[in-house]
Amino acid sequence: DSALVWFRRDLRAHDHAALYHALKAARRVWCAFVFDATILDPLPRADRRVEFIRDSLESLDAQLRELGRRHGRPETGLIVVHGRPTEWIPRLAVDLHVQAVYASHDYEPQARERDARVRGLLADLGVVLHTVKDIVVFEADEVLSAAGTAYGVFGAYRKAWLKQLAPADLQPWPVERHAQALAPLPAHWRRPLPTLQDLGFEPTNLRALKVPTGTEGGHQLLDDFLERIDRYHETRDYPALKGPSYLSVHLRFGTVSIREVARLAWERAAAGSRGAEAWLGELVWRDFFHQVLHHHPHVVAHSWRPEYEHVRWERGRHADRLFEAWCTGRTGYPIVDAAMAQLNQTGYMHNRLRMITASFLVKDLGIDWRRGERYFAGKLNDYDLAANNGGWQWAASTGCDAQPYFRIFNPVTQSRRFDPQGRFIRRYLPQLARLPDALLHAPWQASPVELEAAGVVLGRDYPEPVVSHEDARQRALRRYAAARTGR
Ligand code: FAD
């Protein structure tokens, strides 16, 4: 009996539930990844995520070979193809004569549809698709209120999540135990992995940015973060500091295991680390938004709160211009513009800045959160439907346990508080570097003499603000009030 493991967003060969179950159940196991043309085709020809995945597959292939070699199974490795999973998975199942295919649960609506179709096609061939929990600690139905319903308040969810957590939930899946079931690749599958060019893509600046890929890269970041985790609660909000873990892209593509990182944080938190406790809380948010998406799939396209479905967002040419200014980092608010430059140049944005820029788009510019959500989706290396949608709906006050509508971030206050010396702003907006700290957050408040001394001409080197925050705030309050009262 033979099996195929279909890798998707779980690109590692250790602590892997599907791989473990396949190796345990079957005598011969192969591993495959499909570059899904349905996802790849609409992307721009340079995409950091495609490059991250490709490089991480090289690492996965090496891990599988090494695992096989250590267990007396040379010539193992990863099969990588490009096309549609609905064609490739059944085709591989036939080609390799397997009776079962194993994969991790994928929770996004489109992924579930894909899996349902593949399951049906395999069933026609007499092959079973087994899917198992891997990418979250607790699935949507595992943490429920006493009444058996989904939590709508994060605090209560976190409390229940932590109460329920037991060592067994974070136990690694010991794939080594049955690794002798890894089967040699048939001769026609012993070929080099496709290059980016083979996939029709061009290199990005991922390497220049030194974003570490693969499990090795994930572990490198994890080791580095463990040196800092105890201070996380104090440093996490300051974008100029190396506060967060930068693990999000690795958690997105499963090059590290959620269990291994949660276990480390849990142990440290139990030993009294407040930083580790705060960080574990962020991993709980991750599960929380997955369960929101599962129980309320309408959030993909609609407000979680029905009353905010009727907010009258700005539309038309003026709104398009404002949106464009936001996307390209030309709003005239340095903290917003520096954050958007970080996103556009690197595919990463610090969490505090995601909150500030999202709030600015929705509340200061009055633009529908869905437009911002889509823009982030196109740019973020760690883009994850559940977390991104949750984050946007939180900032827009439309979501489950979101920020109340009347809490409107003041971009200048936020900037002074979280980038007090302007180190982050200066990194991304060098044209403002010579402005003194006191003026950097709101250059329009500088006198002509001060601007001249800093060598800045507003409107030439840097834009005038596209809106006045005070006026925008009043408009936002009216906009939400009107939706709430149905006017
Ligand atoms: P750390 O602070 O080290 O956090 C550790 C991990 O916890 C993260 O890697 C992530 O997996 C998880 N996490 C942290 N915060 C959240 C959160 N609020 N919701 C869910 N999981 C969280 N995160 C994504 O992974 N993908 C997204 O597409 C995404 N979009 C966002 C959009 C908006 C508008 C906002 C406000 C937040 C978004 N987040 C998203 C959450 C958060 O900003 C990122 O997870 C974090 O900045 C990633 O950096 P890190 O790994 O260094 O974070």
Task: Please write the tens of the pLDDT for every residue from 219-258.
Answer: 999 999 999 999 999 999 999 999 999 999 999 999 999 9
Q: How far apart are CA 443 and CA 130, in angstroms?
A: 58
Question: Given ligand 1 and candidates 234, 248, 369, which is best to mutate, with the most ligand atoms within 8 Å of its CB?
Answer: 248
Q: What mean pLDDT value characterizes the chain? A: 97
Q: Which of 6, 304, 326, 369 is catalytic?
A: 369
Q: Contacts by 70-77 with C-beta closer than 8 Å and gap 24+?
A: 70/176, 70/179, 71/176, 71/179, 71/180, 71/182, 72/180, 73/179, 73/180, 73/182, 73/183, 73/184, 74/184, 75/184, 75/185, 75/190, 76/31, 76/182, 76/183, 76/184, 76/185, 77/31, 77/185, 77/190
Check residue 486 and give its pLDDT: 81
| Residue 250 Cα: closest atom of ligand 1 | 9
- At residue 340, the pLDDT reads 98
Q: Is 418 in the pocket of ligand 1 (CB under 6 A)?
A: no
Amino acid (one-letter) located at 177: R
Please indicate whether residue 137, judged by its CB atom, sits closer than 6 Å to ligand 1. Answer: no
pLDDT digits (tens, 9 = 90+) for 428-479: 999 999 999 999 999 999 999 999 999 999 999 999 999 999 999 999 999 9
CB atoms within 10 A of CB 261: 23
Measured between its terminal Cα atoms, the distance across the chain in Å is 65
Paired tokens of 179: 């690794």
CB 61 within 8 A of CB 11: no
Q: What is the pLDDT of residue 222?
A: 98
Q: Could you tell me how many residues make up the chain? A: 487
**Calculated CA dihedral for residues 314, 315, 318, 321, nearest 10 degrees:** 100
- Summarised one tens digit per residue, pLDDT across range 120-161 is 999 999 999 999 999 999 999 999 999 999 999 999 999 999
Could you tell me what percent of the chain has a pLDDT over 70? 100
| 285 pLDDT higher than 90 | yes
The structural domains of the chain, ordered by start, are: 2-135 (3.40.50.620), 136-171+215-295 (1.25.40.80), 306-482 (1.10.579.10)
pLDDT at 487 over 90: no
pLDDT tens, position by position, 203-227: 999 999 999 999 999 999 999 999 9
104 burial via Cβ count (<10 Å: 0-12, 13-18, 19+) = buried
The reported pTM is 0.98
Q: What pLDDT sits at residue 343?
A: 98
**How much is the average pLDDT of 6-16?**
98
289 CA distance to ligand 1 middle (Å): 11
* Encoded tokens for 354: 């995601």
Instruction: Please say if the pLDDT value at position 421 is more than 80.
Output: yes
Query: Does the beta carbon of 236 lie inside 6 Å of ligand 1?
Result: yes
30 part of the active site: no
* C-beta 373 within 6 A of ligand 1: no
CB-based contacts of 484, cutoff 8 Å, min separation 6: 307, 405
25 residue type, one letter: A
What pLDDT, in 10s, does the model give residues 329-348?
A: 999 999 999 999 999 999 99
> Which residue's CA is the nearest one to ligand 1's atom 35?
391
Bind-site residues for FAD: 232, 279, 282-289, 382-384
Report the share of the chain in percent with pLDDT over 90.
98
Mean pLDDT, to the nearest integer, of 34-52? 97
Residue 28 bridge partners (DSSP): 2
